[in-house]
Amino acid sequence: ISHTGITGTELSRFPDDRLTVIVLTNLGAHIGARLPVSPWGLTLGVAGRYIPGMLVSTQKAEPDPDPAATERLRDILGRLARGEDVPTVNPRLPGYVGKNVLAERLRTLQSFTFVTCDDVRARNMEMLGERVSRICHYRLVNAEGTRYYSFFLTGDNRVATFWSTTE
């Protein structure tokens, strides 16, 4: 459960783990800003220091059980970056995607590799109004560095949403 504010504030609750993290910064959008700064996601990084298995970077990469699914998810990122209609994603999702930022990350893409998937059916999790059954994690490497993408997938393999962090 998370909420962000335009000035770089974020509150995230993790009820199953009995943890709440609040980050207050002044790094968000402001008049005259030259560089885009996104402090959002900091609460996940902080929580990952306390919740085992939350940070993707600390998880050992497993063999990719479905390379076609990995390619499909990478393709979905590209289509979202180009502003294309993607029927296999939550219709609410494109409104939350920073197309220019995503396009720039993909422009210098070096690798997009599977890390692991978590079965979350027992948690009764919803993201953007869609029931999530699995979260699959990937490591994206480009000219800027390494980012971790977590895709929240429905029972029929649709993308409810995704997160991207540097951890």
pLDDT tens track, the chain, 167 positions: 777 776 678 889 989 889 999 988 776 555 666 665 666 678 878 888 888 777 888 888 889 999 999 999 999 999 999 999 999 999 888 888 888 889 999 999 999 999 999 999 988 888 889 999 999 999 999 999 999 999 999 999 999 999 888 87
Identify whether residues 143 and 95 lie together within a single domain. Answer: yes
User: Under a CB-based contact definition with an 8 Å cutoff, are residues 142 and 104 in contact?
Assistant: no
The dihedral through the CA atoms of 70, 77, 121, 1 has a sign that is positive
- In the DSSP assignment, the letter for residue 35 is S
Q: Is the pTM of this model over 0.85?
A: no
User: Under a CB-based contact definition with an 8 Å cutoff, are residues 99 and 121 in contact?
Assistant: no
Report how far residue 110's alpha carbon sits from residue 76's, in angstroms, rounded to the nearest whole number: 17
> Which structural domain, as residue segments, surrounds residue 133?
57-165
Identify whether residues 61 and 50 lie together within a single domain. Answer: no
* Domain end (from 27, 54, 81): 54
119: part of which helix (H) or strand (E)? strand 109-119
